Structure 1
Amino acid sequence: MINFFRLVSLLEGISYILLLFIAVPIKYLQGNPEYVKMLGMPHGLLFVGYIVLAIMLKYELNWNGKTFGIVSLLSILPFGTFFVGRYLKKAEA
């Protein structure tokens, strides 16, 4: 399940970057909200999946509050989810 979580974190990060740095500027600079509509739903689903998987892994792997907090915080920082796999490997060691 941890490998699936890493995949979801990567996809969530990509969708967040596309939304923040491509879709939102197009919406506000060119007045075209279509890209936000197109990318918003997949990003939202990936974000919810990320959080649900993080909660499941918290109990499955007995994460302490700090580990869960950092994994959760990384989900809202741009580029943060790209570091989740590395952080978890470091935390496991």
Structure 2
Amino acid sequence: MKSRIGTAIALAGALAGTEANADGNALLAQCQQVARVMDGAQVGPNTDMVGAGQCLGMVEGVRNTITLLNTALPQGYRICFPDKGITNGQAESPLVF
């Protein structure tokens, strides 16, 4: 399941037409900042909060799209989400690791 979510997130990042996310390395760097902050790192003057927001926005957009389109997919292609759902942090983790 994690590999499918990670693949979907990576694909969405690759297809994003914005300059900030034009390459996977930029998106990865933004999401790595999110991971560091979620792991307890202090937010300082060198933390790119706009980039972190772009990462989380991309992750949430892909997650919402998958949720909406999931029921239209054939049974063998659907993604199984936990009953309680997942957070953006949980959805972001496979992208970074």
When normalised by structure 1's length, the TM-score is: 0.45
Higher relative contact order (CA 8 A, sep 6+): 2
Larger radius of gyration: 1
| TM-score (norm: length of structure 2) | 0.44
